A and B are shown apart, each in its own frame.
Chain A
Amino acid sequence: MTKRPLEGLRVADFSWFGAGPIAAQTLCTFGAEVVRVESETKLDSLRVVQPFALNEDGTFKTGYNVSGYFNNFNAGKLGIQLNLNTEKGQELGYRIVEKSDIFLTNFTPRVVEKWNLRYEQLAAVNPRIIAAYAPMQGMEGPHRDFLGFGAVLTPVTGISHMSGFPTRPPIGVGTNYPDYVVNPGHTITAVLAALRYRNRTGKGQCVELPQLESVVNVLGSAVPEYLANGDSPTRGGNRSPVAAPHGAFRCADDESSTNSPDRWIAIACKTDAQWRALCEAFGHPEAAADDRFNTFDARKANEDALDALVSSWTAGRRAEDVMELLQSRGVAAGVVQNAEDILDKDPHIRARQYYTYLDHPETGRAAYDGPAFRLSDTPGYHTGPAPLLGEHTMEVCERVIGLEMDEIADLLAEGVLM
């Protein structure tokens, strides 16, 4: 295997839930050694949240190591159990930071303070450290201690108000969307920029990613429109200012699609030529000449009728067939895929081998998201599955921190290590 770009770097991963661990996992796939610091006394709840691996009889496996939610964000890391509620635990935490290049956490500002993990404290131990914090709203400010657990932060960021149909209340997008790409991806963008700065100057720094500020950046023109024009836009469903038709159109049901038989095709026509190609593909070239639909402005003005017409053409057809029919004529169209489609059926995802299957001692062989960007000469990859809780406590203590066996035994007995 080629040497990966981040080999030789070590990451002290004091994070939990989604955004922090995903950020560290990205560094891990490109070669950094990531030490994930955990403790049963403040357990990462994702370890005990569904989906769990199944036993052969179909019952759920139990324990701290069988959640696909946790495992997918922690592949290839070293796991140490360290009780940061103890003074000695915090001291050992500093010794990991001392031997690291990057520190990551998304603990709340209160916990960061309680455990003495503030930037000034870490920089006193290791002035070259790049320390990244991802609080909900900021390490300072009047809403610093506002709670943002789970489904509460997403609405605060504006995603919920702006997404979905205007006929519905702001129901959100079905997931804690900002946690998975936007916040970890922004964090790592900043950390890599800080690494480049350190390479040139030798200086570490503090990186703060207030999740609110991070997400408002990806709301397109919504907030800038308010700031510039004083207008406050609202959600517009599946429609677009630059394409018509634009939406998800119902196709024939498919009972073989597991507990998800309704099938839909997403279609976007940005040009008159694409609209004509769509009409011809469905055998209705006359619709392209219809003066309700023959220009973009006309299609936008008659969009309810347009959507009804396109729906009448997609109804009863297999979604996959509609996708191929339209794509063969250069019209952007894609099946609204569920996870079964993506993992087991999508020939493209399989050909590109996006998912990695890793053997895990408790879950068995399981799928992990692969690196989401491909480097042609120094690709990233997973070196192993997620760590069991405390799996590498001994290894990290010996090799990274440099403790002797009798010291480790004492710390285990005192409940500092677990």
Chain B
Amino acid sequence: MTDRALEGVRIIEVCDETGSYAGKLLADLGADVIKVEPPGGGIERKTGPFLKGAEPGPDTAIGFWAHNSSKKSVVLDLDTAEGQARAKQLVLSADVLLEDNPPGWLAARGLGYAALHAEHPRLVYTSITGFGQDGPHAGYAYSDIVGQAMGGVMTLAGEPADPPNMIYGNQGNISASINAAQGTLVALLHAESTGQGQHVDVSAQESLSMSQETAMQTWDLQKRNRIRTGERGAIPIALPATGIYECKDGYVSLFVLAPAGEDTPSLIDWMRDCGMAEDLDEEPYASLIPQLNMAWITQVMGNIELATQHVPALAHIHAVMQRFFRSLGAKEAYEEGQTRRLLVGLVSTPKDLGENTQLRARGWFPQVEFDYLGRSIEFPGGPYRLSETPVQIGRPPRLGEHTAEVLASLG
């Protein structure tokens, strides 16, 4: 039996979509995570996609599975005195409470931080919300897109002609959950060494702030807002060997102009090998191509005379490259380009990721046994590999699967 990093840590999780990923991270590391769910389950249990060939319902929701592996499920109605009393017993038996309810919601049910801390001073009580436990917006209604808007990442994403884009995958919830996992562990280490528990307060809005990249500092230092610039980025023309190129069956993203990897002449070599270099070995292109890098482009674009002189040739080189990539499969372009040390990235689809050469070669997709479905299903492996205490992905629980067992253990 392998050692588990969080062996012996009992966590009660009263979370739905905002905080459930935090519980998953800790459960896969070996904590005993007991998820307290309302009758019928929360939003994650009710949201598709559902497993094909099975009844759509709380036990076949794939999005729920993704954020709830390795947990136990106990159904309690926290709007009843009985449910509240049982939940309190559970928390008093635990090391950690993870919760993502609106501020005050658990306190109104006798499960607030002050009351539980008084009875159980070692308890780490982690609250994961849109805006945190205090401040003028603490009571604001939260949804992931609202967190992404208020946190400053949407203003940076998308074409200027479109509305700002949200990032897929509920990244406000994810960012808050990842910070909650870290905060819980820092507080747990402290509680294990001193006996002192505390309240860990995580706000999705604050959790997203770092993902503004340089926008915060650009305002602070230069009083300039970074805005969304879409496909072109900050330079108003399509640059050769940089950005999105369409392939036969998908897209690749290039950054050959960057000062890493091989330079543009190596890409031309590849095109020539495929008989697709067209007239790029002729002037004016041949002498332009070795100069193509980010520093040169920036200099040209900052000088109207130089720009007027070179833009038509740059546009032609770009068009030849577009024809070249349209002749290739996207995965082929990625793997061959990288073999040639060119900065080419596949714009991976979920299918590409499921079939990814590297992930498959490293055996990253564990088979999770679903006894109640009579089959096993592949899951993504963990985000990290620990040599002594590896992550293990356990089957997500059916709704209420452990209610009787866990409540009986409380006496």
Contact among B179, B200, B350 with A233 in the assembled complex (CB-CB below 8 Å): B350
Whole-angstrom distance from the CB of B295 to the nearest CB of chain A? 12
Contact among B200, B352, B384 with A186 in the assembled complex (CB-CB below 8 Å): B384
A207: chain B residues within 8 A (beta carbon): 384-387
Contact B216 A248 (CB under 8 A): no
Whole-angstrom distance from the CB of B201 to the nearest CB of chain A? 4
Is B145 an interface residue when CB atoms closer than 8 A count as contact? yes
Contact A347 B136 (CB under 8 A): yes
Q: Which residues of B344-391 are within 8 A (CB) of A? A: 344-354, 356-359, 361-362, 364-365, 377-389
Q: Which of A77-85, A86-94, A256-264 contacts B (4 or more CB under 8 A)?
A: A256-264
Contact among A155, A173, A236 with B153 in the assembled complex (CB-CB below 8 Å): A173
A413: chain B residues within 8 A (beta carbon): none
- A-B contacts, CB under 8 A, total: 525
Knowing A186-B383, A334-B146 are in contact, say whether A165-B162 is a contact too (CB < 8 A): yes
A336: chain B residues within 8 A (beta carbon): 149, 154-155, 164
Is A252 an interface residue when CB atoms closer than 8 A count as contact? no
Whole-angstrom distance from the CB of B357 to the nearest CB of chain A? 6
B343: chain A residues within 8 A (beta carbon): 147, 149-150, 152
Contact among B154, B171, B254, B357 with A143 in the assembled complex (CB-CB below 8 Å): B357
Contact A205 B145 (CB under 8 A): no
Contact B136 A333 (CB under 8 A): no
Is B300 an interface residue when CB atoms closer than 8 A count as contact? no
Question: What string of 1s and 0s marks CB contacts (under 8 Å) between A158-180 and chain B?
Answer: 11111111001111111111011
Contact A373 B154 (CB under 8 A): no
Whole-angstrom distance between the alpha carbons of A168 and B377 in the complex?
A: 33
Is B174 an interface residue when CB atoms closer than 8 A count as contact? yes
Whole-angstrom distance from the CB of A196 to the nearest CB of chain B? 6
Contact A339 B179 (CB under 8 A): no
Q: Which residues of A196-228 are within 8 A (CB) of B? A: 196-197, 199-201, 203, 205-210, 212-214, 216-228
Knowing A266-B149, A335-B150 are in contact, say whether A226-B350 is a contact too (CB < 8 A): yes
Contact among A142, A149, A213, A332 with B261 in the assembled complex (CB-CB below 8 Å): A149
Q: Which of A48-56, A279-287, A397-405 contacts B (4 or more CB under 8 A)?
A: A48-56
Is B29 an interface residue when CB atoms closer than 8 A count as contact? yes
Whole-angstrom distance between the alpha carbons of A370 and B210 in the complex?
A: 9
Closest residue of chain A to B64 (Cβ to Cβ) is A221
Question: What string of 1s and 0s marks CB contacts (under 8 Å) between B322-352 and chain A?
Answer: 0000000000001000100111111111111
Is B407 an interface residue when CB atoms closer than 8 A count as contact? no
Contact A375 B351 (CB under 8 A): no
Contact A220 B63 (CB under 8 A): yes
Whole-angstrom distance between the alpha carbons of A324 and B201 in the complex?
A: 24
Q: Which of A96-104, A237-245, A388-396 contacts B (4 or more CB under 8 A)?
A: A237-245
Contact among B157, B258, B388 with A163 in the assembled complex (CB-CB below 8 Å): B157
A175: chain B residues within 8 A (beta carbon): 153, 156-157, 211-213
**Lowest 8 A-B CB distances belong to which pairs?**
A68-B217, A373-B183, A268-B143, A266-B149, A185-B178, A339-B219, A192-B185, A152-B345
18 A-B residue pairs with CB within 8 Å: A5-B190, A52-B222, A154-B253, A163-B166, A173-B157, A190-B384, A192-B185, A213-B383, A222-B350, A240-B145, A246-B143, A248-B145, A260-B155, A327-B140, A336-B154, A352-B135, A355-B216, A367-B216
For the complex with contacts A152-B344, A220-B67, A227-B380, 12 further pairs of A-B residues with Cβ separation under 8 Å are A156-B346, A159-B169, A164-B158, A164-B165, A175-B156, A180-B210, A185-B179, A189-B185, A218-B178, A224-B379, A260-B155, A265-B149
